Chain A
Amino acid sequence: MTVKDILKALDATVSSGSEHLDQEITSAFASDMMSEVLAYSKGQSVLVTGLCNPQVIRTAEMLDITCIVLIRGKEANEEMIRLAEERNLVILETKYIMFSACGILYGLGLEGGTT
């Protein structure tokens, strides 16, 4: 599956990295707490989160996460978009709540994991 498939499935919009939508995605992590993402992510390439500040981009960068999905209608601010563009990261925005977004992505075949 590619980022483009996620974009369509979540009825999302792109706020950064529109030139990187063809990259392959196999797994995702979801949390509003970045410390938890740092503790438990194991190479997942998508981060689903309702947290909306520059540290989301920093956390993704440290973990080589390439696509961030902002849920619950959150919109990336200028600083986030600047940081993401510099790092070739994709930011998608969707109105789905976390449960729904994760359910849809899981249904499409994205893997998660355990701690």
Chain B
Amino acid sequence: MSEQTGTSGVELKYMVSPDDFTRAGEASSKVKNILKQMGISPDVIRKVSIAMYEGEINMVIHAHGGDITVTITPEEIRMVLRDDGPGIPDVEKAMKAGYSTAPEQVRALGFGAGMGLPNMQNYTDEMKVETEIGVGTTITMSVHIEG
């Protein structure tokens, strides 16, 4: 993990460990604590936490980990989740609530209900999915800070 403060805001970087389901969510937990310390509103923190946590879980379930960059500016919190996983064959389908390609063992862990990407979209103001089969996926999400 690294933290940098520059003119463009605060930038946080995290590695997401592959295939370590127990640790999935660590990065989201750290970001949540930092946002709290910064005095960001609870509503914004909730949206960022849920969206990032779902993304982090997806990276562990589907993509053997990756990295997450969070940029905090006065206007927004931007999350970029990048992985070198298998890619998403049909993004439109994957965005549909209830559609899941997760194996049964993932469902037994409490995920894979086909709510991940829809949740990420519902809790963020902007979301962009860039994916290429066999190359990886990058998801960019942002939550606006009102006021």
Q: How large is the interface on B (under 10, 10 to 19, 20 to 34, 35 or more residues)?
A: 20 to 34
Let me know if A63 and B46 touch, CB within 8 A: yes
In the assembled complex, the Cα of A54 lies from the Cα of B22 at a distance in Å of: 6
Main secondary structure of the interface of A (DSSP, over half): helix
A51: chain B residues at CB < 8 Å are 109-110
Let me know if A62 and B119 touch, CB within 8 A: no
Quick check: is A55 within 8 A (CB to CB) of the other chain? yes
In the assembled complex, the Cα of A53 lies from the Cα of B24 at a distance in Å of: 11
Quick check: is A34 within 8 A (CB to CB) of the other chain? yes
Let me know if B22 and A34 touch, CB within 8 A: no
Interface string of A53-76 (1 = CB under 8 A from B): 111101101111000000000000
Quick check: is B131 within 8 A (CB to CB) of the other chain? no
Let me know if A61 and B122 touch, CB within 8 A: no
Let me know if B57 and A55 touch, CB within 8 A: yes
Let me know if B21 and A36 touch, CB within 8 A: no
A62: chain B residues at CB < 8 Å are 25, 28-29, 32, 46, 49-50, 53
Quick check: is B113 within 8 A (CB to CB) of the other chain? yes
Main secondary structure of the interface of B (DSSP, over half): helix
Quick check: is A38 within 8 A (CB to CB) of the other chain? yes
Which residue from A33, A38, A61 sits with its C-beta under 8 Å from B54?
A: A38
Let me know if B21 and A38 touch, CB within 8 A: no
B114: chain A residues at CB < 8 Å are 35
User: What residue in chain B is nearest A31 (Cβ atoms)?
Assistant: B110
User: What residue in chain B is nearest A87 (Cβ atoms)?
Assistant: B29
Let me know if A32 and B110 touch, CB within 8 A: yes
Known A32-B110, A35-B110, A36-B113; judge A64-B24 contact (CB<8 A).
no
Quick check: is B115 within 8 A (CB to CB) of the other chain? yes
Let me know if B32 and A38 touch, CB within 8 A: no
Let me know if B28 and A34 touch, CB within 8 A: no
